[in-house]
Amino acid sequence: MHRLYLIPTLLINVVIIFIPAALTIALAFCRWDGIGTPVFIGLANFRQLFADRVFWMALGNNIIWTAIFLTVPIAMGLLAATMMLIARRGSAFFQVIYFLPMVIATAITARVWQGMIYSPLTGIAGLVTRAGFPVPNPLTQPSTALYGIAVVDLWHWWGFLCVIFFAALRQVPQEQIEAARIEGASFWQMLRYVLLPGIRPTITLMMIMTIIWSFLVFDFVYILTQGGPAFSSEVLSTLAYRSAFYDLAVGKAAAVAVVISLFGLATTAFYIRLQAKEFDQ
């Protein structure tokens, strides 16, 4: 009887996600332009991909992206959350403001940074250049494009982590903190030996989610540079999207999607093993 309650959710989920996902995996072994009949070609898509310089650049960029987002926003979030714990007064206010970028549409955040900050004509970069300190637009330089995008995503993202860490820090038992203070622990000792270990499960989970999300990053790259200039900011998700809808190489796009999913799968498996280990202890 109660089984019926699940039908709507599962039906929508299976039709929209599960079946197309299974088809994508099958398509990864086919040549298909999206219209005709798919032709089975075995591993040719993957072989082509592994011989493609752009694929390796995109993968490399995803790894750089993961490294940036595993460190900078997590450090910023942890530090700000700890400081909010000290400040107490006003922490609710700081929390709301830091969270604000999360509710603004990515398309809008991207355009504000593009036009009002990075643009050499209408942005802060142009203003600084005209004042005699030339600042190139980071989005138009192959060496900096990816980092220019990452800064925008950092601005949008770090406050979310801060709020999560702040919520976790408030759950750390009062007795542990009192005990540390009686022992005469300094701020950094408190952070290192009481607060950080106290919220370790939250930090681990956020790091795992960061890895998964870093391989999914799409919006900011697609809107700000479309992967350019010269593929310098290409990531796997934009490569897949362009292959499917611009080049109509759906088989290749599917192969890229499978690669992205494998990274997600590996990360999830690692997390489950980690959880199981902690459970055993």
Partner 1 sequence: MRLIESRTTFVLTYTALAILLLITLFPIALLVLNSLKPATQIVQSPLAWPETYRWDNFVRAWNDARFGTTMLNSAMLAAMTIVLVCSTGSLTAYVLARRKIKSWKIVTFYLLATTTAPIQLFLFPLYFGFAKLGLINNVFAVSLIYTAIYSPFAVMLLRTYFLAVPKELEEAALIDGATHWQVFSKVMLPIVSPGILTVALIIGLYSWNEFLIATTFLQRTDRLTAVVSFFLLSGQYTSDWGEIMAAALIIVLPVIVLFVALQRRFIEGMAGGSVKG
Please tell me whether residue 112 adopts helix, strand or coil conformation.
helix
Residue 274 makes contact with partner 1 by CB under 8 A: no
Number of chain residues interacting with partner 1 (CB under 8 A): 101
Helix (H) or strand (E) holding 50: helix 44-50
Q: Does residue 30 sit in helix, strand or coil?
A: strand
Q: How many CB atoms lie within 10 A of CB 262?
A: 11
Which is nearer to partner 1, 57 or 223 (by Cβ)? Answer: 223
> With binding defined as CB under 8 A, does residue 35 bind partner 1?
yes
Contact set for partner 1, span 140-199 (CB under 8 A): 155, 159-160, 163-164, 167-170, 172, 174, 177, 181, 187, 190
Q: Is 64 in the site for partner 1 (CB under 8 A)?
A: no
Binding piece for partner 1, criterion CB under 8 A, among 55-63, 67-75, 259-267, 273-281: 259-267
**95 binding partner 1? (CB under 8 A):** yes
Chain centre to alpha carbon of residue 53:
23
For residue 201, cis peptide bond before it (omega within 30 degrees of 0):
no
Examine residue 8 and say whether the peptide bond preceding it is cis (omega within 30 degrees of 0): no
Q: Which of 72, 127, 135, 196 binds partner 1 (CB under 8 A)?
A: 127
Per CB under 8 A, 37 contacts partner 1: no
216 binds partner 1 (CB under 8 A): yes
Closest separation in Å from C-beta 145 to partner 1: 17
Pairing of strands 30-31, 39-40: antiparallel
87 belongs to the binding site for partner 1 (CB under 8 A): yes
Instruction: Kindly state the smallest distance separating residue 264's Cβ from partner 1, in Å.
Output: 5
For partner 1, the closer CB: 181 or 273: 181
* Residue indicated by tokens 């011989």: 51
**Cα–Cα distance measured from residue 184 to residue 221, given in angstroms and rounded to the nearest whole number:** 48
Q: Does the footprint of partner 1 cover residue 63 (CB under 8 A)?
A: no
Q: Which two tokens stand for residue 172?
A: 């750390």
Count the alpha carbons within 13 Å of 248 in the hemisphere toward its beta carbon. Answer: 6
Q: Is 16 in the site for partner 1 (CB under 8 A)?
A: yes
Among residues 43, 67, 75, 108, which is the contact residue for partner 1, using CB under 8 A?
Answer: 108
Measure the CA–CA gap between 109 and 220, rounded to whole angstroms.
9
Q: At what angle do helices 200-214 and 145-169 cross, to 10 degrees?
A: 150
Task: Say whether residue 279 binds partner 1 (CB under 8 A).
Answer: no
Longest distance between any two alpha carbons in the chain, whole Å = 74
The answer to whether residue 74 forms part of the interface with partner 1 (CB under 8 A) is no
Return the C-alpha torsion angle 82, 86, 91, 94, nearest 10.
Answer: -60
Q: Please, what is the minimum distance in Å from the beta carbon of residue 42 to partner 1?
A: 19
Pick the piece of the chain touching partner 1 (CB under 8 A) from 22-30, 41-49, 50-58, 137-145.
Answer: 22-30
Amino acid at the residue 241:
Y
Among 21, 44, 72, 207, binds partner 1 (CB under 8 A): 21
Task: Please state the closest distance from residue 49 (CB atom) to partner 1, in A.
Answer: 14
